[in-house]
Structure 1
Amino acid sequence: MGISRQAVPGIRFDKASGLPYSAYRRREMKKAATLLLAFTPLVFLIAFGQSSQAGSQSLDNRVRDFLASQKDQWREENVTEADGRFLYDLILKRGYTRALEIGTSTGHSGIWQAWALSKTGGSLITAEIEEFRHLLAVRNFKASGLDGTVDARLADAHKLVEELPGPFDFVFIDADKNWTLNYFKALLPKLAPGGCFAVHGVSSLGYMKGIRDFLEYVRGLDFMETTVETPSAGGISLSFRRTPKFAASR
């Protein structure tokens, strides 16, 4: 039996629901709380997405400004801008996230790689044996805003490649060319399926025995696909691991 409004003098009733006003308010507040809980994750995701997008745009602007300010400052020990853009595009296209660079120099190629990796959620380990270059590179990574994406190491890469655990899905070699094949053999077990082993200077320095030996060796592996691209006169060889199985040698 329902409660008659006349039977309970002094109590206010909601006209639409017929409930006592206090009960009606409790019901509506419960509905509002339920809706708030339901929409809070969505609001958070939207806000987080907007914040992440703004952060990404801010980093992009900072990197662009830094590269523009240093445009004429990179010396012969660094890659060209065309090479840098090529590496950036390659990493983004392939979605690489675990990168290794041998031969940091003062950081030009590392900045392009790290910029792309900041978008794929990845990171870069880069090694340089000369302390002066290493310190300049560290400064440049910080100035560009990419220091959080780069693990810059002052190290002898001949030893470092043996110690690093991997796996890596992108390796970029721009160091002592006569050691290229040694780098490849040491890192091949750590190169992920679908990964790329890239070497800079294979066109302009193709006369060097180390480059010739490397290209002859890698082209003889049936599980590697090797091409030479020329974003600049230097040339970059790209060797992709196209099978999941590893064979140390033929």
Structure 2
Amino acid sequence: MKFSCQTKLVLLHMLMICIATGCAAQSTNDQRRLDERVKAFLEANRHEWEDLNVPYEDGQVLHDLIIRNNSTSALEIGTSTGHSTIWMAWALSKTGGKLVTIEIDENRQKVAIANLEEVGLADYVDFRLGDAHRLVKELRGPFDFVFADADKDWYVQYFKDIDPKLVAGGIFTAHNVLQSIRGIREYMAFVDKHPGYVTTVDKSSSSGIAISLKK
């Protein structure tokens, strides 16, 4: 059977639509399975995270901020064993992004990598081992989301180092800002009066997360 050129084009167009629809359905199914896997892991380990990890509620805040801002290029300063990393990588799996995360302790990083592999999110994370004081300065960026959860008395310097690499509309978040820790008061005074940012504090947990939106 012979087809006219117009008919062939119509058939080709229909074939492309079918392929695209099938790929979209497969992608949706893959994400659904990943979501179920991550939810189960986080719930099963909800009360097991120690060693400088964020509380469950704070992980949820980070996840939701990334989704709401449609962030795709994120940085975490202080991986620990990967609780917050999982929450952010999970969000980035939905936005099509990736996370760079820095950890100074090799043993903690090994555990974090194992956790991300177990939950199926390792491909969304670029693990960096070393001193964040140096590594943050060396990063090229740009970033649209940053989470600082390392040495609090270095928060101001991390902010200064990242500011030129953070896009307009990007978010710099900092952990433990409701706690009496050395460096927190200085950091909050710095960001509250910074003319290029609007800063609020999420109080979902006793830790507190400062959220600075770049104008």
So what's the TM-score if we normalise by structure 2?
A: 0.95
**Alignment partner, residue 106 of structure 2:** 131
Match of 1:217 among 184, 190, 197: 190
Equivalent pairs, count: 215
How far has the Cα of 1:34 moved from its partner?
4.3
Same amino acid, percent of matched pairs:
45
Query: Distance in 2 between the 1:34 and 1:235 partners?
Result: 58
Give yes or no for the alignment of 1:176 onto 2:155.
no
Q: How does 1:1-250 map to 2 (within 5 A)?
A: 25-26=1-2, 33-205=8-180, 207-208=181-182, 210-242=183-215
- Gapped regions of structure 1 (runs ≥ 5): 1-24, 243-250
- Gapped regions of structure 2 (runs ≥ 5): none
How far has the Cα of 1:38 moved from its partner?
2.4
Indicate the SS of the match to 2:194.
Answer: coil
Query: Distance in 2 between the 1:226 and 1:216 partners?
Result: 11
How far has the Cα of 1:113 moved from its partner?
0.5
- Bigger Cα displacement from structure 2, 29-38 vs 39-48: 29-38
Query: Distance in 1 between the 2:193 and 2:32 partners?
Result: 44
How far has the Cα of 1:71 moved from its partner?
2.0
Structure with higher RCO (Cα < 8 A, 6+ apart): 2
> Is the 2:51–2:81 Cα contact (8 Å) retained in structure 1?
no
State the one-letter code of the partner of 2:118.
A
Query: Distance in 1 between the 2:88 and 2:118 partners?
Result: 15
How far has the Cα of 1:70 moved from its partner?
1.8
Indicate the SS of the match to 1:72.
Answer: coil
State the one-letter code of the partner of 2:199.
T
> Is the 2:58–2:205 Cα contact (8 Å) retained in structure 1?
yes
Indicate the SS of the match to 1:79.
Answer: coil
Query: Distance in 1 between the 2:66 and 2:127 partners?
Result: 19
Question: Do the aligned partners of residues 31 and 94 (structure 1) sit closer, same or farther apart at CA in structure 2, a change above 3 Å counting?
Answer: closer
Query: Distance in 2 between the 1:30 and 1:220 partners?
Result: 66
Question: Do the aligned partners of residues 30 and 164 (structure 1) sit closer, same or farther apart at CA in structure 2, a change above 3 Å counting?
Answer: closer
Can you list the C-alpha shifts for 1:98-145, whole angstroms capped at 9, x where unaligned? Answer: 100001000000100010011011100001101110000000010110
- Bigger Cα displacement from structure 2, 101-110 vs 36-45: 36-45
State the one-letter code of the partner of 2:196.
F
How far has the Cα of 1:92 moved from its partner?
0.3
Indicate the SS of the match to 1:148.
Answer: helix
Query: Distance in 1 between the 2:188 and 2:8 partners?
Result: 67
How far has the Cα of 1:69 moved from its partner?
2.6
